[in-house]
Amino acid sequence: MRVLSGILVALLFSGLCTPSTALAKIEAVKGKQYTLTKKHGPWMVMVAVFSEPPEELKTEGLTPEQAAEELVYELRLKGIPAYTYRREMTYETVETVNRLQQSEKRKYKLDTEICVLAGNYQGPEADRELAKRTLAWVKEFQPKSLEQGGIYKQTPGQPGLLSGAFLTINPLLDPEVVKKNQRDPELIRYNRHYDHSLLDNPGKYTVTVASFYPNSVTLIGSGGNSSKKLSDKGGFAEAADQAWQVTRALRERNIEAYVFHDHKRSIVTVGSFESTSDPRIEEIRKMFGARLVPDPTTGQSQLIGEVIVLPSQDGQWMCTFDPNPETIEVPFRK
């Protein structure tokens, strides 16, 4: 087997888990391959990238694969779950102009890279404190596996081989899907306080029937002749409370309603579905959506939203349901 020596390494690393707390939990078997899969992550750390050096710089030493596996083993001994990921050789087509000013396409070969990734984070914020504690340790860590020669490209301004830091998404996963399913610990904690929380919805999809924003709820005075905005005491807390009241009122009418609060609004949803083609979704849209009703004076059709009137300390308040109920994915559902 041909042995290549110089290893071009781009080293970028961030905290994963405190070695002292994870040491006994991470398997580390010499010679065993720990290959990255879709089950790892979804957020991870790019520890290092190994590739072959230019021909003129090659000497005796480890191959990129061997160097990556050695680093994975050493990290696992320290209690850090590390894996290798092979970026297969690809070809890139580039349009160029030759000496005769004629357009032509050329194919360039991109070298195969062996990446070392580590960590199994649910999100960049979820394990922030754990990552910070480990990062301080990693910055001082000098892997013995990297003392066997090689050509190293260090991060500018960073003194050590593992001083650079950034989180990334498992390259085997779809970044858009990962970000959409990102669990926000703050939202989860807040929504867990409510009965009939949308987090408890057993389905993949639901239908938003009412939306509440700060200062957007209309009060109906006890005399029935006046109305006002909650501008004097409005806010997220009031919007959240109104959404919960509507949810409870629908539940009392045997309607499967849920409540959810995010950083912008509070919503009430109805139903739990496994598919967006479920015929019950259209039934809900018709039940709560705005309807065309003829004006008794002009005879012309006008769009009238469905409403529900509920009691309040100031008399009553009226909720107008969303004119066009929207089918959404249940948040944080994997």
Same domain, 239 and 279: yes
Q: Which residues contact 285 (CB under 8 A, 6 or more apart)?
A: 207, 324, 325
pLDDT of residue 21: 41
Same domain, 168 and 51: yes
The H or E element that residue 144 is part of is: none
Instruction: Answer whether 216's CB lies under 8 Å from 280's CB.
Output: no
* Residue 164 forms part of a structural domain: yes
Same domain, 295 and 252: yes
- Tokens 């083609």 correspond to 277
pLDDT along the chain (334 residues), means of 10: 36 39 72 94 82 69 87 92 85 57 60 84 68 69 74 63 72 82 76 90 96 65 37 64 94 96 92 96 95 82 87 83 94 74
Instruction: Answer whether 286's CB lies under 8 Å from 209's CB.
Output: no
**Domain ends where: 118, 147, 180?**
180
Count structural domains, the chain. 2
- Residue-range definition of the domain harbouring residue 250: 185-329
Same domain, 82 and 201: no
Same domain, 59 and 193: no
**Domain ends where: 145, 180, 215?**
180
pLDDT of residue 120: 83
In a 10 Å sphere around its CB, with 0-12 CB exposed, 13-18 middle and 19+ buried, how is residue 64 labelled?
buried
Instruction: Answer whether 79's CB lies under 8 Å from 26's CB.
Output: yes
Same domain, 170 and 25: yes
* Residue 2 forms part of a structural domain: no
**Domain ends where: 138, 164, 180?**
180
pLDDT of residue 273: 96
Same domain, 201 and 57: no
pLDDT of residue 228: 35
Same domain, 118 and 200: no
Same domain, 16 and 132: yes
Please give the Cα distance from 331 to 173 (Å, whole number). 19
* Residue 3 forms part of a structural domain: no
Beta bridge partners of 333: none
* Residue 334 forms part of a structural domain: no
Q: Which residues contact 282 (CB under 8 A, 6 or more apart)?
A: none
Instruction: Answer whether 62's CB lies under 8 Å from 51's CB.
Output: no
pLDDT of residue 203: 95
Phi, psi (rounded to 5 degrees) for 207: -120, 125
CA angle (216, 219, 224) in 5-degree steps: 150
Q: What is the DSSP letter of 35?
A: B
Same domain, 257 and 137: no
* Residue 1 forms part of a structural domain: no
Please give the Cα distance from 7 to 310 (Å, whole number). 71
Nearest by Cα to 30 from 81, 80, 73: 73
On whether the pTM is more than 0.75, the answer is no
Same domain, 73 and 153: yes
Same domain, 176 and 240: no
